[in-house]
């Protein structure tokens, strides 16, 4: 690439930019399908592998734990190799993981497969965020990040309905192998079409000088930014309740505590995706127009509403009226878009060269807290003797979900302490 071509003015946000974003969305949609496939197959997995509640939670615990610990390395690799390579590799890793789940003769091998899914999943979202930063003006980035999350949420709908339908119709192996084959096709399409930034004229990524050591040093710079730490606490505190419900424990909880049918519980959780489609653009617009006070208000209101409504749910006998459950669903769903505020704090307080590592670290928060909740609920159920789905009772479920409260306390404290220096850094940068 000539210096003239490299420095030529580029119009950001044009049709080509939306095409690149769309291909990135395809990769993220597949990642969410893989991530939430165990939600649709949770009870089937318990019966398929004849396993306990703790072992069942292990499917998602390992997946999310691997995701969490991979976020920082993924960010460093993103700064080094670019979004195209990472999204493609993520799709292939997830395909391998889903194949292991499909063919595993024993539980531990299926759990390893979910860990491989988590490794691939870890590479995707932060890479799509990086594509947005490279291809679109700064003022559009918050909205597009939210739209990415909203569109990716359709993967949950695909898991709850088409994937679950295929699982019941064709069986365990066919359903998960079909998902694996889809991943290979998605990875190939992205590898052939995506470019990391508007200046990239070929598939070759322009690597930064200094190699991988330079990228690692960029991680150190990212961790010195208050916005990176603040983003970590935002993501860790807002997202785990809705993740807990959508990914594994939502349907068992609603069946045991509210006495709903499986179909009603699935429809209820699926409605959250529709609510997310409304919240996402609204919060993205608010975050872009009011970067100082608007973002903090979104985070505090979302977390506060979740704590209040969840506490009422646990302290009052079920079944609860539908209007209350809808309010709870709205509060829980708000946590998804609110968690994306973390990326706005990161982007506005870090240099572009460190953005991958900083985004990866912040994105660790929600997955780390979710992994703790997933395992904690399973362990607390087993401690009460509820070792399989037939033994889940309303009281056991209520006690198990108390694991959320310590995480809320820690997360809110960390966010509050880091908010002031983060806002100061944003003001200085904008000035």
Among 29-33, 182-186, 247-251, 422-426, the range scoring the smallest mean pLDDT is 247-251
Q: Are 159 and 40 in contact (CB under 8 A)?
A: yes
pLDDT tens sequence across 47-63: 667 766 666 666 766 77
Residue 347 has pLDDT above 70, yes or no: yes
Torsion on CA atoms 421, 304, 236, 108, rounded to nearest 10: 170
pLDDT tens sequence across 82-128: 899 999 999 999 999 999 988 988 888 888 898 999 999 999 999 99
Residue 7 has pLDDT above 60, yes or no: no
pLDDT tens sequence across 238-268: 999 998 898 778 888 999 999 999 889 988 9
Q: CA-to-CA distance for 32 and 5, rounded, in angstroms?
A: 37
Q: CA-to-CA distance for 243 and 426, rounded, in angstroms?
A: 29
Q: CA-to-CA distance for 431 and 429, rounded, in angstroms?
A: 5
Q: What are phi and psi of 115, to 5 degrees?
A: -65, -40
Residue 5 has pLDDT above 50, yes or no: no
Burial 202-213, CB ≥16 within 10 A → b, else e: eeebeeeeeeee
Residue 17 has pLDDT above 80, yes or no: yes
Among 226-240, 376-390, 393-407, the range scoring the smallest mean pLDDT is 376-390
Q: Indicate the pLDDT class of residue 212, thresholds 50, 70 and 90.
A: low
Residue 218 has pLDDT above 70, yes or no: yes
What is the pTM (predicted TM-score) of this model? 0.78
Among 145-149, 167-171, 199-203, 379-383, the range scoring the smallest mean pLDDT is 199-203
Determine the average pLDDT of the residues in 414-420: 96
* Top-confidence residue, 210 or 79: 79
Cis-peptide into 319, omega within 30 deg: yes
Average pLDDT of the chain is 86
Give the pLDDT of residue 4.
Answer: 40
List of domains in the chain: 11-196+215-430 (1.20.1250.20)
Residue 200 has pLDDT above 80, yes or no: no
Residues in the chain: 431
Among 197-201, 262-266, 364-368, the range scoring the smallest mean pLDDT is 197-201
* % of the chain beyond a pLDDT of 90: 43
* Top-confidence residue, 400 or 168: 400
């Amino acid at each position: 690439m000539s210096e003239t071509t490299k420095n030529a003015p580029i119009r950001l946000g044009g049709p080509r930019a939306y095409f690149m974003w769309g291909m990135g969305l395809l990769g993220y949609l597949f990642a969410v399908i893989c991530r939430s496939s165990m939600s649709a197959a949770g009870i089937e997995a318990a019966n398929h592998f004849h396993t306990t509640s703790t072992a069942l939670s292990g499917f998602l615990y390992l997946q999310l734990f691997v995701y969490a610990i991979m976020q920082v390395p993924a960010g460093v690799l993103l700064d080094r190799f670019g979004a195209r390579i990472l999204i493609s590799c993520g799709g292939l890793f997830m395909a391998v993981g889903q194949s292991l789940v499909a063919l595993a003769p024993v539980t531990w091998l299926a759990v390893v497969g979910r860990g491989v899914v988590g490794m691939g999943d870890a590479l995707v979202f932060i890479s799509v965020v990086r594509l947005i930063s490279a291809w679109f003006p700064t003022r559009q980035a918050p909205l597009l990040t939210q739209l990415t999350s909203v569109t990716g949420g359709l993967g949950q709908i695909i898991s709850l309905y088409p994937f679950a339908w295929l699982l019941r119709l064709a069986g365990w192996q066919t359903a998960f192998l079909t998902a694996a084959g889809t991943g290979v096709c998605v990875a190939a399409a992205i590898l052939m079409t995506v470019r990391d930034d508007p200046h990239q004229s070929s598939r070759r990524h322009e690597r930064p000088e200094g190699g991988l050591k330079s990228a690692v040093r960029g991680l150190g710079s990212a961790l010195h930014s208050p916005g990176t730490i603040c983003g970590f606490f935002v993501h860790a505190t807002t997202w785990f309740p809705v993740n807990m419900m959508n990914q594994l424990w939502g349907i068992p909880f609603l069946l045991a505590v509210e006495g709903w049918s499986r179909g009603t519980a699935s429809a209820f959780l699926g409605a959250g995706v529709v609510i997310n489609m409304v919240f996402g653009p609204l919060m993205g617009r608010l975050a872009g127009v009011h970067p100082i006070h608007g973002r903090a208000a979104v985070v505090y209101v979302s977390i506060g509403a979740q704590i209040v409504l969840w506490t009422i749910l646990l302290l009052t006998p079920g079944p609860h009226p539908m209007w209350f459950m809808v309010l709870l669903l709205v509060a829980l769903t708000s946590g998804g878009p609110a968690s994306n505020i973390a990326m706005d704090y990161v982007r506005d307080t870090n240099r572009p060269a460190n953005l991958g590592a900083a985004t990866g670290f912040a994105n660790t928060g929600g997955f780390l807290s979710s992994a703790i909740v997933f395992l904690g609920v399973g362990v607390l159920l087993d401690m009460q003797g509820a070792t399989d789905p037939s033994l889940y009772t309303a009281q056991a479920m209520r006690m198990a979900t108390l694991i959320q409260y310590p995480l809320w306390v820690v997360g809110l404290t960390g966010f509050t302490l880091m908010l002031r220096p983060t806002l100061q850094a944003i003001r200085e940068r904008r000035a």
